[in-house]
């Protein structure tokens, strides 16, 4: 815990609640709390705008400064698990699970609230939305899920205790080797992957320094980077299979160690820009592929660019 000399991130934790209003009293043992991994940048900030023009003085006058726009945003990183996706899936896609399946909706995702424990203080962030999801890992590592959040409000709760029995989830996280990847129905091996879904959200302001809401400001985008061995087979199959813009069906299947739990990401309209790999001197030549995942007319789940199937039942 904190001392007169400061705080430590060792005691940090976060919980999420989907109630209509942001209030610490709404957080109970029924809500989701998850361990944090790496740094967490979720924060409130407000610009101070200096409106001074030329006045014969080369210094800026504090009297002419005014408060500017307020914004709540930042990244929160967790270990990927079926439990995490049980909560996060609908907030990422904007669509509730149906038979364990969700995929992006046209409307912006629903809002939720977060309780962030920064050792000495507890911060309540209200009306958050998931702007970006980044799932990544390399050989031998756990799989992480970073959520880029945008919100509307923040309050600090001094001298407030963490809600009773709101314990951090301890579901076993996925490891890199839990993931099998097929492209066009054939299995391939890779050294690392990064799957990113961007909802392209932005805060909207009308006559106030606080956001009116968070809305969809443009097209969503899903990309998948795969780094694997450079072989004659991978070049032929993945880069030279057909003329650009060839469309490939990519399936990432995570098999959990506990019971029948599993997670599947399917990108049925993945397209890659053909390009020759670089030679890093005497080092290993790798095939670095970045796919843009688009919709497919007549495909599964309304032809969605990304389909999430998550079975969180042990």
Domain that holds residue 228: 9-45+65-311
Residue 60 lies in a domain: no
Q: What does pLDDT average to over the chain?
A: 93
pLDDT of the residue at 8: 75
Residue 1 lies in a domain: no
pLDDT of the residue at 10: 83
Write out pLDDT tens, residues 196-216: 999 999 999 999 999 999 999
pLDDT of the residue at 2: 64
Backbone conformation region of residue 306, classed left if phi is above 0, alpha if psi is from -120 to 50, else beta: beta
Say how far apart CA 81 and CA 39 lie, in whole Å.
19
How many domains are there within the chain?
1
Residue 50 lies in a domain: no
Contact 289, 270 (CB under 8 A): no
Supply angle C-alpha 18, 24, 27, rounded to 5.
Answer: 50
Q: In the beta sheet, which residues pair with residue 183? A: 186, 250
Contact 70, 46 (CB under 8 A): yes
Residue 51 lies in a domain: no
Residue 52 lies in a domain: no
Residue ranges in the chain modelled with pLDDT below 50 = none
Residue closest to 38 by CA, chosen among 159, 123, 145, 150: 145
Residue closest to 76 by CA, chosen among 16, 36, 111: 36
Cis previous bond, 245, omega within 30: yes
Residue closest to 93 by CA, chosen among 239, 246, 305: 305
Residue 213 lies in a domain: yes
The three-state secondary structure class of 302 is helix
Residue 31 lies in a domain: yes
Full-model pTM = 0.93
């Amino acid at each position: 815990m904190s001392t007169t000399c400061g705080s430590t991130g060792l005691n940090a934790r976060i919980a999420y609640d989907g109630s209509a209003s942001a209030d610490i009293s709404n957080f109970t043992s029924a809500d989701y709390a998850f361990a944090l991994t790496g740094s967490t940048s979720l924060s409130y900030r407000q610009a101070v705008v200096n409106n001074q023009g030329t006045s014969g003085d080369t210094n800026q006058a504090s009297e002419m400064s005014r408060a500017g726009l307020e914004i709540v945003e930042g990244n929160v990183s967790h270990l990927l698990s079926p439990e995490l996706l049980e909560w996060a899936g609908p907030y990422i896609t904007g669509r509730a699970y149906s038979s364990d399946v969700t995929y992006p909706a046209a409307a912006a995702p629903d809002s939720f609230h977060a309780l962030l424990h920064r050792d000495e203080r507890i911060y309540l962030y209200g009306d958050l939305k998931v702007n970006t999801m980044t799932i990544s890992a390399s050989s031998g590592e756990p799989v992480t899920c970073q959520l880029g959040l945008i919100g509307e409000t923040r309050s600090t709760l001094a001298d407030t205790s963490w809600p009773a029995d709101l314990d951090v989830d301890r579901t076993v996280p996925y490891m890199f080797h839990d993931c099998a990847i097929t492209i066009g129905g054939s299995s391939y091996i890779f050294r690392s992957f990064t799957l990113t879904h961007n909802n392209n959200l932005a805060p909207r302001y009308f006559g106030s320094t606080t956001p009116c809401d968070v809305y969809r400001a443009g097209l969503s985008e899903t990309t998948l980077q795969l780094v694997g061995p450079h072989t004659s087979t991978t070049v032929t199959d993945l880069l030279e299979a057909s003329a650009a813009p060839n469309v490939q069906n990519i399936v990432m299947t995570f098999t959990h160690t506990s019971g029948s739990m599993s997670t599947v990401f399917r990108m049925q309209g993945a397209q890659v820009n053909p390009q020759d790999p670089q030679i890093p001197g005497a080092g290993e030549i790798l095939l670095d592929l970045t796919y843009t995942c688009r919709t497919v007319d007549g495909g599964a789940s309304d032809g969605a660019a990304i389909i999430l199937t998550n079975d969180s039942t042990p």
